[in-house]
Chain A
Amino acid sequence: MHLGRVIGTVVATTRGPGLDGIKFLIVQPLDKHQNDSGSAVVAADAVAMAGPGELVYFVASREAAEAMPERFVPIDHAIVGLVDHITLADDGA
């Protein structure tokens, strides 16, 4: 699991089977200090509460499909939580 920042939303009315009702958000993966790391992905919002600007954590590959109510849907990234705060030891916290 990694950190991500929600930077946008995607609307796609024509979808594959099992994807109905799933909110798609654009997520920018982050490193542990919350700097951009790698390219943005479109993730399903398994928490249904994430909005633009939100700091989240997300799972990839099969675990993303496992986050959905219906099993084995074609999802490869899914937001599974919103971050309230992070305390890092090397920040002197």
Chain B
Amino acid sequence: MKLARVAGTVVSPISHPFYDGQRLLLCDLIDPDGTPNGYLIAVDVVNAGVGEHVLICDEGTSARQIYGISTGPVRSVIVGIVDEIS
């Protein structure tokens, strides 16, 4: 999984059926020491807020497992909100 900080929200009224009604968050990927390392747009299933540190599962099969589906164009899913990194 990857560490990230939620940087903002993406509003998308027109999308592939899987993404209808999904909450899309733009996340800054970070190294454990906080160094920025790119970004991802991820779907949120834990109601993370902008500015929060989160855990992103960035692998398709696991992502589909979260949704209980066998097929779907999903890969990056926010699966946890980080309280502390040490």
Binding site for B on A (CB under 8 A): 1-3, 31-32, 46-47, 49, 57, 59, 61-64, 66-67, 71, 78, 80-91, 93
Q: Judge whether A32 and B28 touch: CB under 8 Å.
A: yes
The size of the chain B interface, using a CB distance under 8 A, is 29
Binding site for A on B (CB under 8 A): 6-16, 18-19, 24, 26, 28, 39-42, 50-51, 60, 71-76
Considering the chains assembled together, what is the distance between the CA atoms of A71 and B8 in angstroms? Answer: 32
Q: Number of residue pairs across A and B with beta carbons under 8 Å?
A: 89
Cβ-neighbour of B72 out of A66, A85, A86 (below 8 A): A66
Considering the chains assembled together, what is the distance between the CA atoms of A77 and B42 in angstroms? Answer: 16
